[in-house]
Amino acid sequence: MSSNTRFLFFIFSLLLTLNSVFHIVSQTTPSDSDASYILACGASTDAEDTDGRTWKPDSQLLSNSGNSMILSAHVQDPSLPSTIPYMTARIFTSTSTYKILVAKGQRFWLRLHFYSTSYGTLDPSKSYLDVIANGFTLLHNFSASITAQALTQVSIMKEFSLVPAQSGDLDITFKPTLEQKDAYAFVNGIEVIPMPDIFKPAPLVGYNDQFVEVESSSFQTIARLNVGGQFILPTDDSGLTRTWYDDSPYIFSAAFGVTYKADKSIKIQYPSNVSKEIAPLDVYNTARSMGPNANININYNLTWVFQIDAKFTYLVRFHFCELDLEKVNQRVFNIFVNNQTAKENADVIEWAESQGVPVYKDYAVYASDEDLWVALHPSVSTKPQYYDAILNGLEIFKMNDTRGNLAAPNPVQSPMPIQADDAPKKFRPSRSERAAHVIGGISGGVVGCAVVAGFFICFTKEKRKGDGNPSSRGNWLPLYGRSHTSTSNSTTSGKSIASSQLSSVAAGLCRHFSLSEIKHGTKNFSESQVIGVGGFGKVYEGLIDGKTKVAIKRSNPSSEQGLDEFLTEIEMLSRLRHKHLVSLIGFCEEDGEMILVYDYMANGTLREHLYRSNKPALSWQQRLAICIGAARGLHYLHTGARYTIIHRDVKTTNILLDEKWVAKVSDFGLSKIGSNLHQTHVSTMVKGSFGYLDPEYFRRQQLTEKSDVYSFGVVLFEVLCARPALNPLLPMEQVSLVDWALHCQRKGILEDIIDPHLKGKINPLSLRKFTETAEKCVADQGLDRPTMGDVLWNLEFSLQLEKTPEQPKMVSYNNADDTYATYTAMSGTDEDSFVSLEK
Ligand SMILES: *[C@@H]1O[C@H](CO)[C@@H](O)[C@H](O)[C@H]1NC(C)=O
Ligand SMILES: *[C@@H]1O[C@H](CO)[C@@H](O)[C@H](O)[C@H]1NC(C)=O
Ligand SMILES: *[C@@H]1O[C@H](CO)[C@@H](O)[C@H](O)[C@H]1NC(C)=O
């Protein structure tokens, strides 16, 4: 079963499995001599997760298990990393305590796992819980449901480092939050992992010679990044089963620096005062530096920004290992934390004494706001050989306050993560139809579930109640660096929020419009000028300078969605110019408005020429030419610019057509830059549009350009079959276009489902080449999918077969690069029409 089918299967099987499943509890516990405890709460037997770690039942460690019950989740969200420990939960309706024996004087990690979904008849939004461990308040009024939605994550993990109790006992108490009526508490998994004492008193930034005391403090992990490197699984960590994430989602602005990996000749050697457990080798053997150009480096800070809880002290740990240079005073830099100097003239070689030797430094900072900024800048005062900086790893830990508290309010709702499909209203299922497909109770649940069938989300968008306390997202999966600046802030503080966050390059490359110019050009945002409505807001047709027709995209001022997407789009599009990418003319941000001005695309979106409109059907040759254009635009994004750019939201409504039917890829709001040097993927939250989402990206949350190839394959099928990628009103096996088309393809009856307008009018060879290409694009594994260059070549070939079936002019090559070279050579001057402004 493909994962799409599996996904739908779970949703529909929901209808059948309303009854909660109770497990008989059999009693097995870890023996007391076990150093660590990995507990699947509510499980009846030992079970392995997908990483091969064994989880044991929790019941014997619970001192008063009568106060709790065991329930299973109804729905297995496809982005759950594993069924263990998430599919069963222990539910607490009153105070219950786990009593766990730990070695005396031993510091340990405590990890709590939550999967917010419906258990039995319980409403996930009704769960609010407190967790207290050895006298430290770890969580208070914690809602897994609110947190999961705000973070767009299905499961939540909270990691703490606790100080040993003198007795050697660890008491973990769960209770429903008192202030919340009818609340219940729950937990899916608990890990207790002994750890070496890795915390030492750290200098408090901004206070001369003051150190924070760490010995009696507990910590919560806020971020753990393998800077310039890849995601590291718990099982690949050096024994402490930590997860390390890619740092790029946290980088502020478009200045990403460059990443690199240790040369094979460099052998990383831990010195005697750095334990291997501090961080695994993979953290030290990749790094990010500012780049080769001293003039550029001297003018910017390599900056990461984190969303944190205000009014706590944070310990920031920098991991360094020089991989390139060998001498003192070659690369010297300053380290800033929250705009204050944490360290002047940092020189990794001076600290480590040699290349390939890890060293780490801790700095503590008291944060009064909800951001934590970390920045590196070349130091000039020591006249180093290079103006550059380097970082290999970064960890951020929150320290308990003076009352032993680590808890903070729930995050505020963030904008909907997965863009609504912009289907016209009349085609959306009515509320009752929707209820027939998705059980109502789910809507309060996990985002991944609530949006299953694409369209539904359009009207489940009403704000869910938060606790009214704006606060950070006390979690540490990648979040976008700038995502904390909500639109509501920008409206109150007036203009310039966006431009102050734009890089000077972007701001310099595109035009800044005044609001009055825009109002004038759109007849004061007259409804008669509206040419489209999307997740972002409305798109108007307008005139600028009294003569030039433009498309004006105005973000809905009341929606919280947008500032990030707005900035990303300006950053991306102002640097990219290509015949097959929509051109950004400029932007306007006044009075809290976020407005983008584009070239006008006379023929609208590709989708409106495929189905659900009364426009004349496109011929096969026209369709091929459009697909080829869009493929060229994407190919350019993947390979033509300085960085690999992953579009992330390829779909037929993001392929626009100008007056000459030239296809242009649009909507870069979700795009991500991956460095093309050593990084092969970007690990990130799943965003995109349902029906087009790469199943592999969904499973592993790691983005590569092959995710765009997958989405493009869906587009190809859509072009061929003239139906939406997902149509929940169809019989179950037909809901997903990809699944249905692959099924028909295998049965040899694909011809039956193609657009009736095309039947009998396509050269069979051309059709075969096209469908083969589409099929390869939607391969389950990214590795099995072709590159955009291959796709392009195959589509060109399909067009040749259609035009001159007797003598196709193109020769097939096996090697992807060769094919592309041939193809560009043959397609002549067309590619000359683009210039990349970023070099
Ligand atoms: C880098 O950050 C420091 C500390 O916030 C700031 O003082 C400095 O102006 C920044 N430099 C640049 C070039 O942005
Ligand atoms: C380890 O020793 C080196 C050299 O004496 C020193 O510079 C460094 O600060 C020490 N500590 C750590 C944690 O690297
Ligand atoms: C954390 O809590 C402990 C126990 O209440 C206290 O001794 C310690 O000072 C606290 N840490 C900080 C940084 O306030």
Residue 191's pLDDT is 96
**Higher-scoring residue by pLDDT: 788, 507:** 788
Which residue, judged by its Cα, is nearest atom 8 of ligand 2? 351
Is residue 567 classed as helix, strand or coil in its secondary structure?
helix
pLDDT at residue 504 in the model: 55
Q: Is this prediction's pTM over 0.75? A: no
Average of per-residue pLDDT across 798-811: 71
pLDDT in tens, 545-587: 888 889 998 887 655 556 766 777 777 677 677 889 888 888 8
Domain segments of the chain: what residues? 28-195, 202-399, 416-420+430-601, 613-836
- Ligand 3 atom index nearest CA of 217: 1
- Say whether pLDDT at 314 is over 70: yes
CA of 691 from ligand 1 middle (Å) equals 43
Helix (H) or strand (E) holding 645: strand 644-646
Q: How far does the centroid of ligand 1 lie from the alpha carbon of residue 487, in Å?
A: 25
Cis before residue 85, ω within 30 degrees of 0? yes
pLDDT at 688 over 70: no
Q: For the chain, first and last CA: distance in Å?
A: 45
Q: Which DSSP string do the residues of 134-203 spell out, in sequence order?
A: TTEEEEEEE-HHHHHHHHT-SEEEEEEEEPPPTTSEEEEEEEE-TTSTT-BEEESEEEEEE-------EE
Average pLDDT over residues 119-137: 94
The CATH number for 416-420+430-601, chosen from 3.30.70.3420, 3.30.200.20, 3.40.50.1980, 3.30.300.180, is 3.30.200.20
The more confidently predicted of residues 248 and 416 is: 248
Give me 813's structure tokens. Answer: 């090559």
Q: Is the pLDDT of residue 736 over 70?
A: yes
Which of the residue ranges 285-299, 328-342, 347-361 would you say has the lowest mean pLDDT? 285-299
- Probe target for ligand 3 pocket from 217, 312, 398, with the most ligand atoms within 8 Å of CB: 217
Ligand nearest to the CA of 399: 3
- Residue range 359-381: average pLDDT? 94
Which region among 182-191, 244-253, 681-690 has the lowest average model confidence (pLDDT)?
Answer: 681-690
497 vs 698, residue with greater confidence: 698
Q: Which residues line ligand 2 (CB under 6 A)?
A: 271, 273-274, 351, 359-360
Q: How confident is the model at residue 416 (pLDDT cuts 50, 70, 90)?
A: very low
* Best residue for ligand 2 mutational test, from 359, 363, 395 (most atoms within 8 Å of Cβ): 359
pLDDT of 661 higher than 70 = yes
Residue predicted with more confidence, 681 or 167: 167
Q: Is the CB of 404 under 6 A from ligand 3?
A: yes
pLDDT digits (tens, 9 = 90+) for 202-238: 999 988 889 998 988 999 999 999 998 888 888 889 8
pLDDT: which is higher, 829 or 188: 188
**Minimum-distance ligand to the CA of 215?**
3
Burial group, residue 515, by CB count within 10 angstroms (0-12, 13-18, 19+)? middle
**What pLDDT does residue 185 have?**
97
Look at residue 476 in the predicted model and tell me its pLDDT. 28
Most confident among 168-182, 426-440, 583-597, 633-647 (mean pLDDT): 168-182
Distance 301 CA to ligand 1 centre (A): 6
Higher-confidence residue of 161 and 499: namely 161
Nearest ligand, measured from the Cα of 275: 2
Q: Is the pLDDT of residue 702 over 90?
A: no
CA distance 632 to 642: 16
219-226 and 245-246: which strand pairing? parallel
Residue 587: per-residue pLDDT: 86
Residue nearest to atom 9 of ligand 3 (CA): 402
Least confident of 345-359, 366-380, 585-599, 614-628: 585-599
Does this chain's domain 202-399 share its CATH topology with 613-836? no
- For residues 214 and 418, the model is more confident at 214
What pLDDT, on a 0 to 100 scale, did the predictor assign at position 690?
67
Tokens of 323: 């991989």
**Residue 310 falls in which region: left (phi positive, over 0), alpha (psi -120 to 50) or beta:** beta
pLDDT over threshold 50, residue 716? yes
Alpha-carbon span 793 to 791, nearest angstrom: 5
Å from CA of 393 to ligand 3 middle: 27
Domain 613-836 has what CATH class? mainly alpha
Residue 13, pLDDT score: 33
What is the reported pLDDT for 51? 82
Give the chain's mean pLDDT: 77
**Structure confidence at residue 341 as a pLDDT band (50, 70, 90):** very high
> Which residue has the least CA distance to atom 11 on ligand 3?
217
* pLDDT in the model for residue 424: 30
Catalytic residue positions? 649
> Is the shortest distance between the CB of 319 and ligand 1 below 6 Å?
no
Question: Would you state the pLDDT for residue 491?
Answer: 27
What's the confidence (pLDDT) of residue 641?
A: 62
Are 388 and 289 a contacting pair, CB within 8 Å? yes
pLDDT (mean) for 646-652: 87
Is the pLDDT at 825 greater than 60, yes or no? no
Q: 461-489 pLDDT, tens per residue? A: 222 223 322 222 222 222 222 222 222 22
Quick one: pLDDT at residue 559?
A: 54
Q: Is residue 610 over pLDDT 50?
A: yes
The CATH number that domain 202-399 falls under is 2.60.120.430
What pLDDT, on a 0 to 100 scale, did the predictor assign at position 562? 61
pLDDT score at 9:
37
State which H helix or E strand residue 773 sits in. Answer: helix 764-777
Which H or E run contains 447?
helix 447-450
> Is the CB of residue 252 below 6 angstroms from any atom belonging to ligand 1?
no
- CA–centroid distance, 474 to ligand 1, in Å, is 27
Q: Looking at per-residue confidence, does 383 or 509 come out higher?
A: 383
Residue 794 has pLDDT above 50, yes or no: yes
Three-class DSSP category at 232: strand
pLDDT for residue 538 is more than 70: yes
> Thinking of the domain 28-195, which architecture would CATH place it in?
Sandwich (2.60)
